[in-house]
Every structure is written in C-alpha cells, then in structure tokens.
Amino acid sequence: MSITYEQVRKGYSPAKSDQERLDVMFRWFARPISFPVAWAFLRLGLTPNAVTMMSLFGNVVGLGLICSGQRVLMIGGVAALLVALVLDAADGNMARAAQIFSPLGEWLEGVGAYVLYGCFHLVGGIGAYRSLGTADPVFAVGSIPPSALIALGAIASISITLTVMVAAKVSVVFPGVERESVVAKRGGGVYGLLFTVGRNLSFPSGLVLPASLLALVARHYELLLGFFAIANVGMFIAVIARCAALGLRHIRGTNM
C-alpha cells in the first residue's frame, strides 16, 4: 500500500495538534520535521515499531556520547537525542497514516522516555566531571567542585523521574482523579501554568536539549546542572503536593 505525504499530514488530527500546542519542542521542531521523515520511512517499507527502535537506539547512543566527557562528542550526543526526538514523533505519524498500532511500539516509546528521564542529567554530570581530564572542559574549572557536578546531575535526574512516576501513579490509585488534573499542561489555573512551564523546561522532550547545546558551546555546563537540579526538585514538590491534595479530596468525596 502506497501512502502519500498528504495522508501522513492528515493523520495528524486537530485533537492531536491541540494536545501538543503547548509543547514547544514538539510543535515547532520535532513535529514539522517528522512529517517528511515519516513519509520517507513508509516509502522505504519501514514499520512504526522499527522507527521506535531507532529512536530508542538514538537515545542510548546520545546518552553514551554525553557521558564521554569529550566536548565535541557531548555536543554530538545532544544532537543524537534531537534526532531521536524527531523519530519519536515520526513513528506516531507512520502508525496513524498506515493504521498500524502496536502495544509493543507504545511500550518501547515509554521505555525510551523513561531512559531519558532517569539518565539525561546524571550522564551529563558524569560527562562534565570527566571533561576535567581533557584539554577542553565543559564547565568553568574552579567555579564548582567537580564531584558536585555528578551530585547535581543525580538530583536533577532523580527528581524529574520521581515527578513522572508520582503523576502516573495517582490516577491508578485514585480512579476518580482525572489525569488531566495532574498533567495540567492545557490549563488548570496557576498549577497548570507552572506545570506547562516546567514540562517545557525539564522534560527530555523539552527545551533542556537546546539549553544543553548552549551550555556545552559556552563551556558552562555547571550552570545548566544547577538550574535543573533546582527546577526539577521544585517541579517534584509541586506535583506531589497536587497529587496529595487531589487524593485527599477524592477520599473525602467517597466517604461522604
């Protein structure tokens, strides 16, 4: 079956567009590029699952390069993650255009996301630490103890991973709590605004990737690690407080 480029574009429904309208990197970067990429892969006979695997592989390769400590390789690692982000958007385009949906593909997509949540800042901290032994460190030597780079990376990685886990668990434990009331990227008052800003900054599919490129080019990766250690902890506190409040409200409602 031959699928046209127009069919690939039409598969991106208004509902999906509305869902991503506040995701800066997806809306303005990954999604526009993903349409021709998806069409080309379909013409080559690739399946959505194959492209999902390519995206997962790109994530692993990118993280490995960032961990190297070589500034040029670290920049290449972030670039690989940007390519993987485009592939992550392309596999969905392919699935909708070809009407090929797979639980395995959805699971693999989730694996790729969690790998990034759990590892990105940690390997960034390790890479920054290892760069001290090279001729081109990626942080301002003397501005921070080198071991603190790993600590900041670990804090940023752990807090954003816990944020995602807490948000995912609350709707399972409390079926009466709507997911959109926690993942309030489309509104929800002050919390919705804070979550939208935090998601666009801190999630691996967000502005953290171009920000990392800038930090590596400027050789001030310590500033990026420090910022996201603080921002991600703040986001974790906000989300866990929101989940606790919604959970208590649900319990009181069922006991009345």
CATH number of the domain that residue 16 is part of: 1.20.120.1760
For residue 85, give the nearest of 133, 47, 28, 169 by alpha carbon: 28
Dig out the tokens for 162 from the structure. Answer: 């816990």
* Residues 6 or more apart whose Cβ sits within 8 Å of residue 157: 117, 118, 119, 120, 121, 122, 232
Rg of the chain taking only CA atoms, in angstroms: 20
> What mean pLDDT comes out for the span 197-205?
87
Dihedrals φ, ψ of 91, to 5°? -65, -35
Query: What is the number of structural domains in the chain?
Result: 1
User: Hey, what amino acid is at 11?
Assistant: G
Mean pLDDT of 149-165: 95
Count the Cβ atoms, other than its own, within 10 Å of residue 254: 9
- What is the per-residue DSSP string for 189-222? HHHHHHHHHHHHHHSTTTTHHHHHHHHHHHT-HH
Q: Is the pLDDT of residue 7 over 60?
A: yes
34-65: string of b/e by CB count within 10 Å (b at 16+)? Answer: bbebbbebbeeebbbbebbbbbbebbebbbeb
Q: Give phi and psi for 174, each to the nearest 5.
A: -115, 85
pTM score: 0.92
Distance separating alpha carbons of residues 173 and 167, to the nearest angstrom = 11
Name the one residue in this structure whose structure tokens are 């930090």.
215
Range of the domain at 36: 5-255
49-106 tens-digit pLDDT: 999 999 999 999 999 999 999 999 999 999 999 999 999 999 999 999 998 888 888 8
